Chains A and B, each alone.
Chain A
Amino acid sequence: MKIFSCTSLLLLIVTLFSSVVVADSKQILVQSTTSTANSGFYKYLLPMFETQTGIKVNVVAVGTGQAIRNARNCDADVLLVHAKAAEDAFVADGFGVERFDLMYNDFVIIGPAGDPANVSKQSDIHNALKNISTVNALFASRGDNSGTHKKEQSLWHAININTEAVKPSWYRSTGSGMGATINTAIGLGAYTLTDRATWISFKNKDDFKIQFQGDPKLFNQYGVTLVNPEKCPSVSQHSAQQFIDWLLSKKTQQSIAAFAVDGEQLFYPNAK
């Protein structure tokens, strides 16, 4: 009796939720970086695709590092991130079919209004970072193997400061996402590197502002990749390819260019 009622309860719950699982096979799963999601970019763009094609796009927004890891576990149909080298490796390892440039923006250094390291006066990013290290101004790092973290590491590397091995006291690794790291940086009064889209749409700016920008080395390229159906048979190849083609189409690229937050354009389309 008891076993019977338990079983029927289990069945009830399973049926209740299985509907969600099988309801719509015309849906694709995108593993994405956070900046595109947090800035409202998908909320702006995806409804256009969904009404056009009837394909529902589910976005999991995590750091680029984790997005690639999840996609390697076949938990994605499409990968949309911003770390070209890692994306190329993903394709080279057979997990992705082909990577396409989608759009770009740039990274910026944000910091407290007083700008203690005087980075706003520097001519290039290398000097800006050198200044931070010489005056021992606090710097908050993602430390989460994300696209932004990889970019930041390459910048420190270029000026021969090894933050991993030396662990300078002014260098704080948060091990969290972009938003959490900005919150931490503001709390600490520390500089940090962020993509422009996240910063523009960030609500808790306090007295922080962009202290350094405009160096071509701060270029931030977003790419899109179809997960390889040969490696991952679960990939909804047709719908996913349709989504990528749509993203790279001229019309969508124009829509991307038209997306703005507080009057500022966040992403610059550059699909070939």
Chain B
Amino acid sequence: MQESAINLAVQLIISANPDLFEIIGLSLRVSLSSVVLSLVFGLSLGAFLATDHFRGRQLINVLINALMSMPPVVVGLFVYLAISRSGPLGWLGLLYTPTAMIIAQTMLITPLVAALSRQVIEDLYNEYREQFLSLQLTRPQRMKALLWDARYSLLTVALAGLGRALSEVGAVIIVGGNIEHLTRVMTTAIALETSKGDLALALALGLILLSLALLINILLSSLNISARRQAYA
């Protein structure tokens, strides 16, 4: 089985199977968009929480940490109820579109990015705090400086987010519907082939997804290493 799956995976790639490339493309589009959006929201939130000690901050931290382990299916269901045609946002017509999948994955990943980046930024802020006080930086100035100086650690946070996005199936299958040529991505295709009993194809798709993740990680970590060599980290 494993051997035939590897053969099949290689065959699919060599033959440049258009369906395969379509779902890989959509997977990347959805996951990368969600990660970018999650970074916008999550990093802002993480930097905000790291740079002040307001009342209730600890509660929010605990809450966000808990949200990190939110099951994708629950997020999917939540988004489905909101954007279903009978839901409060139904008029937007977003259900069963890539946009819906991006919204769901963004909600899934934002807590992860926020929690991890808060920790990274807080550690750095402990080092910078007195200097920043002395310089009398405003809150946005502090956040901006910390985000920039923590950029290489935050790249790892982004990768963690991308990993969760690329591997997630529960949320996208509910709000995307796994519609062929429209919302079918790698993970939902794997789920589908498994349910059709085509385990070899499912495994082959899994191997391709894994290679894709590996490729992205190699790409980004080589960027990371060459930058660290310049020792800005």
Chain A residue nearest to B34 (CB atoms) is A13
- Distance between A44 CB and nearest chain B CB, rounded to angstroms: 13
**With A13-B37, A60-B177, A60-B178 as contacts: A2 and B196 at CB distance below 8 Å:** no
Q: Which of B9-17, B84-92, B107-115, B155-163 contacts A (4 or more CB under 8 A)?
A: B84-92
Q: Say yes or no: is B216 at the interface (Cβ < 8 Å to chain A).
A: no
- Distance between B43 CB and nearest chain A CB, rounded to angstroms: 10
**With A17-B98, A179-B196 as contacts: A74 and B90 at CB distance below 8 Å:** yes
Q: Say yes or no: is A59 at the interface (Cβ < 8 Å to chain B).
A: yes
Interface 1/0 per residue, A58-95 and B, CB below 8 Å: 11110000000010111100000000000000000000
Q: Tell whether, in the assembled complex, residue A180 and residue B195 are in contact, meaning their CB atoms are under 8 Å apart.
A: yes
Q: Tell whether, in the assembled complex, residue A29 and residue B33 are in contact, meaning their CB atoms are under 8 Å apart.
A: no
Q: Which of A159-167, A196-204, A210-218 contacts B (4 or more CB under 8 A)?
A: A196-204
| A72–B84 CA distance with the chains assembled, in angstroms | 10
Q: Tell whether, in the assembled complex, residue A75 and residue B102 are in contact, meaning their CB atoms are under 8 Å apart.
A: no
- Distance between B63 CB and nearest chain A CB, rounded to angstroms: 23
**With A59-B179, A73-B84 as contacts: A203 and B94 at CB distance below 8 Å:** no
Q: Tell whether, in the assembled complex, residue A178 and residue B195 are in contact, meaning their CB atoms are under 8 Å apart.
A: yes
Q: Say yes or no: is A148 at the interface (Cβ < 8 Å to chain B).
A: no
| A82–B27 CA distance with the chains assembled, in angstroms | 32
A201 partner residues in chain B, CB cutoff 8 A: 196
Chain A residue nearest to B101 (CB atoms) is A17
Q: Tell whether, in the assembled complex, residue B197 and residue A182 are in contact, meaning their CB atoms are under 8 Å apart.
A: yes
Q: Say yes or no: is A177 at the interface (Cβ < 8 Å to chain B).
A: yes
**With A60-B96, A179-B196, A179-B197 as contacts: A13 and B36 at CB distance below 8 Å:** yes
Interface 1/0 per residue, A169-193 and B, CB below 8 Å: 0000000011110110000000000
A178 partner residues in chain B, CB cutoff 8 A: 195
A177 partner residues in chain B, CB cutoff 8 A: 195
Choose one: B33, B90, B97, B198; the contact of A234 (CB below 8 Å). B90
Q: Tell whether, in the assembled complex, residue A59 and residue B97 are in contact, meaning their CB atoms are under 8 Å apart.
A: no
A20 partner residues in chain B, CB cutoff 8 A: 97-99, 182
User: CB within 8 Å of B: which of A213-253?
Assistant: 232, 234
B97 partner residues in chain A, CB cutoff 8 A: 17, 20-21
- Distance between B45 CB and nearest chain A CB, rounded to angstroms: 13
Q: Say yes or no: is B194 at the interface (Cβ < 8 Å to chain A).
A: yes
Q: Tell whether, in the assembled complex, residue B195 and residue A34 are in contact, meaning their CB atoms are under 8 Å apart.
A: yes
Q: Say yes or no: is A6 at the interface (Cβ < 8 Å to chain B).
A: yes
Q: Say yes or no: is B5 at the interface (Cβ < 8 Å to chain A).
A: no
Choose one: A9, A60, A74, A205; the contact of B197 (CB below 8 Å). A205
Chain B residue nearest to A199 (CB atoms) is B197
Choose one: B40, B144, B179; the contact of A60 (CB below 8 Å). B179
| A74–B89 CA distance with the chains assembled, in angstroms | 13
- Distance between B4 CB and nearest chain A CB, rounded to angstroms: 12
Chain B residue nearest to A7 (CB atoms) is B40
Chain B residue nearest to A74 (CB atoms) is B85
Interface 1/0 per residue, B162-199 and A, CB below 8 Å: 00000000000000011110100000000010111111
Q: Tell whether, in the assembled complex, residue B95 and residue A75 are in contact, meaning their CB atoms are under 8 Å apart.
A: yes
B140 partner residues in chain A, CB cutoff 8 A: 2
Choose one: A2, A6, A18, A38; the contact of B144 (CB below 8 Å). A2
**With A58-B96, A73-B84, A205-B197 as contacts: A38 and B192 at CB distance below 8 Å:** yes
A258 partner residues in chain B, CB cutoff 8 A: none
Choose one: A14, A34, A204; the contact of B198 (CB below 8 Å). A204
Q: Tell whether, in the assembled complex, residue A202 and residue B197 are in contact, meaning their CB atoms are under 8 Å apart.
A: yes
Chain A residue nearest to B173 (CB atoms) is A62
Q: Say yes or no: is B93 at the interface (Cβ < 8 Å to chain A).
A: yes
B84 partner residues in chain A, CB cutoff 8 A: 70, 73-75
Q: Say yes or no: is A45 at the interface (Cβ < 8 Å to chain B).
A: no
| A2–B44 CA distance with the chains assembled, in angstroms | 10
- Distance between B13 CB and nearest chain A CB, rounded to angstroms: 21
Q: Tell whether, in the assembled complex, residue A74 and residue B195 are in contact, meaning their CB atoms are under 8 Å apart.
A: no
- Distance between A119 CB and nearest chain B CB, rounded to angstroms: 21
| A183–B36 CA distance with the chains assembled, in angstroms | 37
Q: Say yes or no: is A257 at the interface (Cβ < 8 Å to chain B).
A: no
The 8 closest A-B pairs by CB, nearest first: A179-B195, A204-B197, A60-B177, A74-B85, A202-B197, A17-B99, A203-B198, A203-B197
- Not counting A61-B178, A179-B195, A232-B86, a sample of 19 additional A-B residue pairs whose C-beta atoms are within 8 angstroms of each other reads A9-B36, A13-B33, A20-B98, A21-B99, A58-B96, A58-B179, A58-B182, A59-B179, A60-B96, A60-B178, A70-B84, A73-B86, A75-B84, A75-B96, A179-B194, A182-B197, A232-B85, A234-B85, A234-B90
- B residues sitting closer than 8 Å to A (CB atoms) are 33, 36-37, 40, 84-87, 90, 93-99, 102, 140, 144, 177-180, 182, 192, 194-201
